[in-house]
Chain A
Amino acid sequence: MITAEWKPIEEMVGYLRGHKKVLVIGCATCVAECAAGGEREVETLAPLLAMAMQNDGNPIEVKSATLERQCEPEFLEAIAEAAAEADAIVSVACGIGMQLVAERYADTPLYPGVNTTSLSIREEPGLWTSRCAACGDCVLGFTFGLCPVARCAKSLQNGPCGGTRTNGMCEINQDTPCIWRLIVERATARGRLEDLTKVRPPKDWSNSPAGGPKRMLREDLRS
Chain B
Amino acid sequence: MAIIERPSTPAVVGAGAGAPAVVTPSQAYGVLRRPVAATGWRSWVFTVDHKKLGIMYGVVSLFFFLVGGFEALLIRLQLAGPEGTVLSAGLYNEMFTMHATTMVFLFVMPMAAAFANYLVPLQIGARDVAFPRINAFGFWCFLAGAIFINTSWFLGGAADGGWFMYQPNANALFSPSHGIDFWGLGLQITGIASLTGAVNLIVTILNMRAPGMSLMKMPIFTWMILVIQFLLLFAMPVITVALFLLMFQREFGATFFDVSAGADPLLWQHLFWIFGHPEVYIIVLPGFGIVSEVLPVFARKPLFGYRFVVFSGAAIGFVGWGVWAHHMFASGLGPVSVAVFSVATMLIAIPTGVKIVNWTMTLWGGKIWFSTAMLFAIGLIVEFTIGGLSGVTHAVAPSDTQQTDTYYIVAHFHYTIFGGAVLGLFAGFYYWWPKIFGKRLSESLGKWNFWLMIIGMNLTFGPMHIIGLQGQPRRMMNWTEARAGEGFFNLGFWNRVASVGSLILAVGVAFFIVNIWVTHRPSSKTPKSELDPWDARSLEWITQNPPKEHNFDSIPTVHALDEFFHRKYEVDHDTGEVTKVASAEEILAAEEAKADHHIHLPSPSYWPIILAFSLPVMGYGVIFNRFLIVAGALGVLLAMFGWALEPSVADDSDYDPPAEGGSNKELATIG
Partners in one complex: no
